[in-house]
Structure 1
């Protein structure tokens, strides 16, 4: 029996579908409505969430493997409490429930945000450790502290492994999360920055997670990253796939500073979530490179999907999903 948290999200939904296709018994929590994606009808759904300790105890009865994909991703300063409660307290609850239930192995989906940031031009690997100097977001801090809960569980005898994906690309809800990038480009948003970061296909993330779960690896963390590239390069490739006009107006650091300050004022006046915050403005301008050698050394036969293939597949899936053809 496999238990999946965050089964309605981008990573969780793709993972559940992969597990169901393999004939695995899957159990998952839902808060308000059972999702309707392919394979969801073969899942044993339990109402609750990761802050519900009693629901977790019930959900983990007889479970051998746990994939913890649930998390809040937000850079809105007004959502810090929700961010910390779900990402840290929720992970602590999962770890405790795994120990109590005698779960064989836990896989925790973290983020490269938990590694912090270092001077530009220095590639980040798994030896990077978060610190106040390297951190640039409350989200990153919350994911780092969530990882500390997993390491605590490992210290208490739990077999567990952590993955740190870069920006995950997939045909999820394009009104939110990383999939929103595709909607933004489709609507011919003209602006771009010189920022560089890592990107990885959700299909590759799911495959890597399953390899790690079925292996003897424990007490390790792995960066999952297919390619480091600029936001502009990514946006242009997506625009070409959709047949839309690509980005053509550069956002300077000064302009970004003006925009996030204006968005902060607008949020205080209207309550509408800001399109850009101080943290996201800094991330969009930063040039950050991630290494992926540790995972590839552990699994030498693993191959990341080329970014061109990833974008082509996602664009086609979104075209069908939203009847854009």
Structure 2
């Protein structure tokens, strides 16, 4: 049986659909019943007979940070897709991110070792790829730079990877994927889904920072191929194209046939905004809409190479513009 954590998230929900099509016995962890409805919505993008696919999943209510609830989850499991993560750029969430992304992964690794799991796929992030100013393009070989400029999410995802490598030393074959900004349908109020919602509703601002983007279906496809292959104990960047936020926002606007964002955000403007949001969050319980690190990312320019995965499994990525058009077609009017 195959276990999927984070099955109610963007990557996990799309992964679950594809796993059910292969008629594998699949078990997925969930925390609230409400979150399962989002998974059904994702399934509806692929098929009209949602219940037929959805009924193949053995849903278990559990928490990856709670050992007693997770022990029975591993009964009969031979493969694991660990997609669960806490994503935030708010410094206030750092302790919770450590709990989920590092401690939770450590629990997953320990239970996988005890259960004799054959192979584990860990969904990390390009945030865990080290910066190297000497290289024009970031690769899997970049050394991690643990300085204070790294934000909490990057630190905890890298920490999660360290736990996964421990599994590889204890007899569990592992593969780690480091996706860029994942574009996909179904989660319109979180992650990259907010970009589509904001543009649809009339976003005015854009920035020219550059990073790697990839479609969720490509992420899932690469994970499935890597797990079935003989590849083990390797990490792979998953990026279709390196693009500026301006290019991506403009492509979304074009697909929606909405006005493009017209006002460029300058560094001093984002600098003032994140400081104001920090002050407001200190004086209230309100979460900041922008942090120091998210403001920085609007202007930083980092290019990533997916050459390693392309060579390892002859993988071809879908163009970002094609992905954007597909996602926009699923957007609820």
Q: Normalised by the size of structure 1, how large is the TM-score?
A: 0.95
Conserved 8 A contact 1:116-1:135: no
**Correspondence for 2:328 among 295, 299, 315:** 315
Aligned length: 319
In 2: Cα distance, 1:152 partner to 1:14 partner: 28
Provide the residue aligned with 2:303 in structure 1: 289
Provide the residue aligned with 1:44 in structure 2: 58
Quickly say closer, same or farther: Cα 1:223–1:135, change in 2 above 3 A.
farther
For structure 1, the 5+ residue unaligned runs are none
SS in 2 for 1:71: coil
After superposition, residues 44-193 of structure 1 pair within 5 angstroms as 44-119=58-133, 122-133=136-147, 136-193=150-207
SS in 2 for 1:35: helix
Provide the residue aligned with 1:242 in structure 2: 256
After superposition, residues 241-260 of structure 1 pair within 5 angstroms as 241-260=255-274
Conserved 8 A contact 1:121-1:288: no
Deviations 1:176-209 (A, max 9, x none): 1121110111111111111001100000000000
Quickly say closer, same or farther: Cα 1:72–1:183, change in 2 above 3 A.
same
Matched, 1:267 2:281: yes
Conserved 8 A contact 1:49-1:56: yes
Conserved 8 A contact 1:116-1:140: no
SS in 2 for 1:285: coil
SS in 1 for 2:202: coil
TM-superposed CA distance for 1:135, in Å, is 5.1
In 1: Cα distance, 2:142 partner to 2:199 partner: 33
Conserved 8 A contact 1:121-1:289: no
SS in 1 for 2:71: helix
In 2: Cα distance, 1:282 partner to 1:121 partner: 20
Provide the residue aligned with 1:35 in structure 2: 36
In 1: Cα distance, 2:231 partner to 2:70 partner: 25
For structure 2, the 5+ residue unaligned runs are 44-52
**Correspondence for 1:198 among 207, 212, 218:** 212
SS in 2 for 1:259: helix
TM-superposed CA distance for 1:120, in Å, is 8.5
RMSD: 1.4
**Correspondence for 2:318 among 288, 300, 305:** 305
Conserved 8 A contact 2:132-2:143: no
In 2: Cα distance, 1:243 partner to 1:297 partner: 37
Matched, 1:2 2:2: yes
TM-superposed CA distance for 1:121, in Å, is 6.7
In 1: Cα distance, 2:163 partner to 2:3 partner: 19
Q: Normalised by the size of structure 2, how large is the TM-score?
A: 0.93
6-15 vs 247-256, which deviates more? 247-256
SS in 1 for 2:242: strand
